[in-house]
Structure 1
Amino acid sequence: MEQPIRTYSVLQYMTSISNKLKGTPPVWVHGVITQIAEKQKIVYMSIADFAEGDVKPIATIALSCFAGQFAALRQKTENAPTPFTIKEQLKVCLLIQADVYIPFGKLQAKVLDIDPVYTLGELAITKAAILKKLAIEGLLEKNKSIPLPPMPLCVGLITGEGTAAYKDFTTRLAASPFRFSVVPAYAKMQGNDTESSVIAALESLTANPEIDVICIVRGGGSKTDLNYFDSEALCRAVANCHIPVFTGIGHEIDKSLLDEVASVSCITPTDCAKRLVERATEGWNRLEQCALDVVNCAKEKLAEEKSYLTSLGTQLQRGVITRLHRENALHIQICTSLKKDISFIVKTEFERLDRNEEGLRQGSRKILDLEKSKFDLTETRVKAVDPQTIIARGYTLTLDSNGNFVRNARQLKEGDVLKTKFSDGSVESRVTGVHSN
């Protein structure tokens, strides 16, 4: 007879697995933190492995840690030689104890310790890799190559709202002899939102055409917050900004990658404001020197022009006097010549008038005699053709009844009465017939 198969409840099975896992020794496991969720008494985490160039994990393990234990681990990292904060996307090496969460049947190892040296090494490698990549692409010097305005009086300010950094920065500018205009763009200056909020503030300020420089400042505090300014995306945004960027992150010794790509890196917000005041002072001094140079140059030029004008005036005066003498002599010469010419012309005209007067007297008689001769000749010619003269020569004139001369036979018809004049009288006759030749 077959033995019945032994069965277990789910609880018995999971409890058995849990007991087995408790016998497994703790091991160090490294990976990238993909999630951190802090609940009331427990912090839930997960770490994963990724293939190079892929964002999808190839292996993931869920972790849990009591809140008190997690606080101890965080204090350990923050007290490291180079402090850092446990956060997502950070490479860590954790000492974990395998365990299973029976209600969900889920493998959930417990975090016992963290190796800061491993993470610091990874951070250094990552930072060095980013720095090398930025250098190869020429981004370390790109923002530095933008010329600084001689007097940067309109300042775009990226900082936390109502922070000591804002107060220190603006107070230092207000104490200067210059009238700075500060355009704030508030952002998160620590935590996971640092990158996105600072980039958004940077984009907002670069859209303002009045901005001369942009300052990113943050006051003192935990040194772990410096890690947020090693963001590659944030570094690229600053490097590619077309406005010079000043940084005053608040750390006097350590330097973030953001300081490397900025146009000017300052140690504190106050120092950042001080550098702006110094730049404005240099610009003002250059402006004053330029104004002084202009004044001195103008004085020299005026002195040269005055000397030139004096010399020119003397030459002009001499030239005018010489010209006046020459013109006066010419005027006298012209007047003398004019008098002679006028006397000659008047004398000539008088002589011409006398000749004309005599010519009129003699000529009028000649003209009258000539015209009289012409008249007499005309009179003789008229008399020669006078009908009376012609009749006296033996010719007759025939007139019709109306007293008109009859010049040809065609004017007459039978019955017309004609009057014929002779030198000693006239006769009347009547036409009895008309005969043509």
Structure 2
Amino acid sequence: MEPEIRSYTVKNFLTAIKKKLEDTPTVWVHGVITQLTEKGNMVYMSIADFREGDVKPEATIALSCYAGRFADIRLKALACPTPFEIKEQLKVCFLLKADVYVPFGKLQGTILDIDPVYTLGELALTRSAILKRLALEGLLEKNKKLPLAAIPLRIGLVTGEKTAAYKDFTTKLDASPFRFKVSTAYARMQGNETEASVIAAIEKLLADPEIDVICIVRGGGSKTDLNYFDSEALCRAVANCPIPVFTGIGHEIDKSLLDEVAYLSCITPTDCAKRLVERVTESWTHTMDVAKSIADQTKNLLVESNRYLTASANQLQQVVSTRLQQERTKHTVIANTLQKDVQFIVKNENNRLQRNHEGLKQGSRKILDLAKSRFELLETRVKGADPQTALAKGYTLTLGADGKFVRNAAQLKPGDVLKTRFRDGAVESVVQ
């Protein structure tokens, strides 16, 4: 005969399971916090397992904890040598007691305690993994290799609004003898918005091409607040920033991953401003040293040049005096020679003029006699060519009717009237 199968209500069934689970021992369970909500005197949470490289959880369990107990657990985490805040995306290991929430038939666990060693180990591993990736990509030194302005007076400041860090930083700059220009981009410097807020502030400052350096400063606080500056995305933004980035986050003992990738890591906001003042002071001192060196060299050069010019002037004076004396002597010789030459030339010219004068007297007479002889000869020729002379010798001249000389008979024809001139008169005749 088969045993009788009893029938239960849902509530009875779940209550029986709940009572059964009460006998199970507490166990340590680790996973990633995917949800955390605080409502009244209760804290609700979910943790899950994830396969590497997959964002979809393989298994998830809901957890609950009384607010008072969760406060103790939170204080335990904050009291660690490296304190941390219990928040979403954190890897944790809780001591759990299995339970069932009867109204919904939901399997859940009650949080009794936390193992901070597990979380610290996971945080260290995560931080170490990020640091290793940044190192392999050469991002730890990238920003450090950028050239820093010799006189970084134009500063981009990323900090919280109306914070002590802002006041400490700007007060230190204002106390210096230099005129710094600070452009501020306010950001959330703690909490889950830190990463996106700081990255946005950096991008805003980079829109100003005149900024020489960006400073990210935050005052001291709990170590959990400073964990936000271990963000890989924020580290990459600073490492790839095209201008040098200074950090002044927390206190002297604090060191975030952001400090590792920055151009310069300062211990406090005041120290960050101090480094900028020192940089400008060094440049100013160097400038003054260079100016003094130039002044000294110029002074020495002027003294040396003055000495050289004085020596040159004396040498030139001697050379000029010698040259003047030589020229005077030369001119005296030339003047004496010229005087003798002039006297010789004048004497020769006087002799030539006397010869010419005498020659002119004799020559004029000879010229006149020659001209007279030529004239008489010409006169004789003219008289010889005169028709009257020919007529006086017994010759005659025959003229035609046109008054022209008849030189041969071929010019005449019968009936032409001719006129014949004689020494003592003329007669007319007709050609037959």
Residue 435 of structure 1 corresponds to which residue in structure 2?
none
Q: Take 1:30 and 1:390, find their aligned partners in 2: how far apart are those partners?
A: 175
- 1:61 deviation in Å? 1.9
Question: Following the alignment from structure 2 to structure 1, what is the Cα–Cα distance between the partners of residues 324 and 36?
Answer: 106
TM-score scaled by structure 1?
A: 0.83
Report what 2:169 is aligned to. Answer: 169
**Offset of residue 181 of structure 1:** 1.8
- Per the alignment, residue 61 of structure 1 pairs with 60
Change in CA separation of 1:51 and 1:346 when aligned onto 2, cut-off 3 Å? farther
Counterpart position of 2:189: 189
Spell out, residue by residue over 1:290-313, the C-alpha distance to the aligned partner (whole angstroms, 9 max, x if none): 222222222222222222222222
Deviation larger for 380-389 or 292-301: 380-389
SS at match of 2:139: coil
Evaluate the alpha carbon distance shift between residue 291 and residue 360 of structure 1 in structure 2; reply closer, same or farther with a 3 A threshold.
Answer: same
Task: Give the aligned partner of residue 318 of structure 2.
Answer: 318
Query: Amino acid of the residue matched to residue 121 of structure 1?
Result: G
- Match of 2:145, SS? coil
C-alpha distance in 2, partners of 1:338/1:85? Answer: 119
The SS at the match of 2:241 is coil
Q: Distance in 2 between matches of 1:397 and 1:51?
A: 166
Label 1:369 to 1:87 Cα distance change in 2 as closer, same or farther (>3 A). Answer: farther
Aligned equivalents of 1:137 and 1:413: distance in 2?
146
Are 1:137 and 2:137 matched, yes or no?
A: yes
Point out the more displaced range, 43-52 or 250-259: 43-52
* Shift in Å, 1:431: 6.7
Paired residue for 1:20?
Answer: 17
Native 8 Å contact 1:28 1:93 kept in 2: yes
Equivalents in 2 of 1:268, 1:275: separation in Å? Answer: 11
Deviation per CA, 1:383-425: give whole Å up to 9, x if none.
4443444555666545454534567889888876543434443
Which residue of the partner structure matches residue 29 of structure 2?
A: 29
Provide the C-alpha distance between the structure 2 equivalents of 1:14 and 1:394, rounded to a whole number of angstroms: 201
1:14·1:102 contact (CA, 8 Å) conserved in 2?
yes
Q: Structure 1 190/406 Cα, relative in aligned 2: closer, same or farther at 3 Å?
A: farther
Residues 138 and 415 (structure 1), Cα distance of their counterparts in 2 relative to 1, 3 Å cut: farther
1:3-45 C-alpha deviation (Å, 9 max, x unpaired): xx9999xxx5587457536744454333333444555665554
**Partner Cα separation in structure 2 for residue 268 and residue 342 of structure 1:** 104
> Match of 1:217?
217
* Aligned residue type for 1:232: E
- Secondary structure at the counterpart of residue 143 of structure 1: helix
Q: Is 1:83–1:223's contact at 8 Å kept on the other side of the alignment? A: yes
> What residue number does 1:149 align with?
149
Structure 1 unaligned segments of length 5 or more: list them.
433-437
For the residue of structure 2 that corresponds to 1:191, the secondary structure is coil
After superposition, the Cα gap between the structure-2 partners of 1:151 and 1:428, relative to the gap in structure 1 and judged at 3 Å, is same
Asked whether the 8 Å contact 2:14–2:105 carries over to 1, the reply is: no
Query: Number of aligned pairs?
Result: 424
CA distance in 2, matches of 1:43, 1:304: 88
Deviation for aligned residue 1:222:
1.6
Which has the larger displacement, 289-298 or 404-413? 404-413
Structure 2-normalised TM-score?
A: 0.84
User: Is residue 240 of structure 1 aligned with residue 243 of structure 2?
Assistant: no
CA contact (8 A) 1:46 1:60 kept: no
Identity of aligned residues (%): 66
What do residues 254-280 of structure 1 show as CA deviations (whole Å, max 9, x unaligned)?
211111122221111111112222222
CA distance 1:92–1:394, shift in 2 (3 Å):
farther
Range moving further from structure 2, 100-109 or 280-289: 100-109
Tell me the CA shift for residue 162 of structure 1: 1.0
Match of 2:265, SS state, is strand
| Equivalent in the alignment of 1:375 | 375
Aligned to 1:340: 340
For residues 34 and 414 of structure 1, the distance between their equivalents in structure 2, rounded to whole angstroms, comes to 170
Check the 8 A contact 1:42/1:64 in 2, yes or no: no
Return the alpha-carbon distance in structure 2 between the equivalents of residues 236 and 412 of structure 1: 145
Q: Which residue of 1 aligns with 2:296?
A: 296
- Range with greater deviation from structure 2 (93-102 or 355-364): 93-102
Q: 1:81 to 1:403 in 2, by over 3 A?
A: same
Q: 1:207 to 1:382 in 2, by over 3 A?
A: farther
CA pair 426-169 structure 1, distance change in 2 beyond 3 A: same
Shift of 1:167: 0.4
Q: Give the 3-state SS of the residue equivalent to 1:140 in structure 2.
A: helix
Describe the SS at the equivalent of 1:86: coil
CA shift at 1:160, angstroms? Answer: 0.7
Distance 1:42 1:390 in 2: 181
Q: Which residue of 1 aligns with 2:126?
A: 126
1:157-210: CA deviation from partner (whole Å, max 9, x where unpaired):
110111110001111111122222212121111112211221222223234332
Larger mean Cα displacement after TM superposition, 210-219 or 24-33: 24-33
Matching residue of 1:205: 205
Specify whether residues 163 and 388 from structure 1 end up closer, same or farther in structure 2 by C-alpha distance, changes over 3 A only. Answer: same
- Return the alpha-carbon distance in structure 2 between the equivalents of residues 367 and 32 of structure 1: 151
Whether contact under 8 Å (1:248, 1:266) holds in the other structure is yes
Deviations 1:318-354 (A, max 9, x none): 2122122112212222222222222222222222222
1:202–1:373 Cα change, 3 Å: farther
Aligned equivalents of 1:370 and 1:106: distance in 2?
170
Residue in 2 that maps onto 1:305: 305
| Kept after mapping to 2: 8 A contact 1:48/1:57 | no
Which residue is 1:76 aligned to?
A: 76
Deviation at 1:219, TM superposition (A): 0.6
Displacement after TM superposition at 1:369 (Å): 3.0
Whether the 8 Å CA contact 1:15–1:102 is kept in 2: the answer is: no
